[in-house]
Amino acid sequence: MEASARSFISYPEDSDFPIQNLPYGVFYRNSDATKKPTIGVAIGDQVLDLAVIAQAGLFDGPAIKDHAINVFAQGTLNGFMALGKAAWSEARKTIARLLSADEARLRDDADLRAAALVAQSDVTMLLPANIGDYTDFYSSREHATNVGIMFRGKDNALQPNWLHLPVGYHGRSSSIMPSGTPVRRPLGQTKGPDDAAPSFTPCRLLDFELEMGLFVGPGNALGDRVPIDDAENHMFGVVLLNDWSARDIQAWEYVPLGPFTAKNFISTISPWVVTLEALEPFRVQSPKQDEPKPLPYLQDENSKAGYDIQLEVALKSPKASAPQVISRSNFKYMYWTMKQQLVHHTVTGCNLRPGDLLGSGTISGPTPDSYGSLLEITWRGSKPLTLETGEERKFLLDGDSLTLSGYCQGEGYRVGFGPCVGTILPHN
């Protein structure tokens, strides 16, 4: 979409949701006693109800017209995700045209506008999809190196397999929650290095992880692999993801099978799914992978497989009057790309399904102010973070609120994700 495109809906230049974005989400109107979920698109501070637009017969493209009433009346995006790129593109073109400053159909129809547009302040956002499966990767070279140095030393920072494949683990989809859901401090088994035996305690080393999550579109059949040049046909859109982590629980339990309860208590995502089509102008060169080269199935002829998404993490303690930015990073730093993650996930013939979520792994940059976790920012607690209130943080305390945010900067507009927020509550 042209940078000069404008909507009849007014919004400031730094709005996350200009007409160049048009992210999808699921919401219910606060005035609706039944809390019926429906699908919408964010535009400025408004939501366009796509069920109303579909009922009005305004989705008329050949790939979407026979499906619009059904998929946009559902309470999740799974059905729309399954339709594929042709339908997504047609829907986006129709929505952009209807919201354009030059198009009278919605702009000048007062009744349709009143039915289809609702203020974001008058809705409650829900999870955008029924997330059947969730896989989290470990794809930032900077993050993996930092963690390796902390626990194994500089000479053995990266594990032998790390530069050859996107490392990942299967997480828990049932505890993925939308922005604003409180984060209850978990309890679990911990064992310090000098303890004779483990104990059952509240987590003392509660951390955030700055990530992004990819929603899968059309799936693949069991036994079929997705080749690298077909991967984007299976990629619907992206959200912010906070993979909350209980570091002390993780340290005791992760051998030999990796994280378990240290990461299954909650993960938070932003509710608006930004499509790859909206991110297309912000493609950038991904990091070189030539020492060693990946195996052929992971080699991508399109070197611009990264995305220039500026990311921030802000922490607000109970004593603070406003959040304080504690990290500024960028999605372009990721060594393994979303395409490579999806391809490797299916290399054995594993079947992905619409609405599956693939977490990027912690996004850390090359400098301490771009690290994507407190584990790194405080270097395992050895360098406490001093807040503007004078307080110190090694890890998160009860009452702390974390906000992830991100956007791509265009010429006179930005494509943003909205906030991804969680506040720490005491353990039960």
Q: Is beta strand 210-216 parallel, antiparallel or unpaired with respect to 206-207? A: unpaired
Between CA 361 and CA 89 the distance in angstroms is: 28
Q: Which residues pair with 327 in a beta bridge?
A: 313
Please check if 362 is assigned to a binding site: yes
In the structure encoding, which two tokens stand for residue 269, read together? 């995502």
Short-list 325, 194, 186, CA closest to 260 = 186
Task: Clarify whether 344 is annotated catalytic.
Answer: no
Quickly count: other Cβ atoms within 10 Å of residue 101's Cβ.
12
User: What is the three-class DSSP state of 245?
Assistant: strand
Please check if 138 is assigned to a binding site: yes
Please check if 209 is assigned to a binding site: yes
* Catalytic residue from among 143, 234, 344, 345: 143
Please check if 32 is assigned to a binding site: no
| Residue 204 one-letter amino acid | R
Please check if 7 is assigned to a binding site: no
Please check if 243 is assigned to a binding site: yes
Please check if 254 is assigned to a binding site: yes
Please check if 263 is assigned to a binding site: yes
CA distances from 96 to 89, 99, 103, 293 (A): 11, 5, 10, 41
Residues 6+ apart with CB under 8 A from 192: none
Between CA 92 and CA 57 the distance in angstroms is: 15
Between CA 335 and CA 329 the distance in angstroms is: 14
Between CA 228 and CA 280 the distance in angstroms is: 17
Question: Is 17 in contact with 44 (CB distance < 8 Å)?
Answer: yes
Please check if 169 is assigned to a binding site: no
Residues 6+ apart with CB under 8 A from 111: none
Binding site feature residues for substrate: 138, 152, 250, 254, 362
Binding site feature residues for Ca(2+): 136, 209, 211, 243
Binding site feature residues: 136, 138, 152, 209, 211, 243, 250, 254, 263, 267, 362
Active site residues: 143
Binding site feature residues for Mg(2+): 243, 263, 267
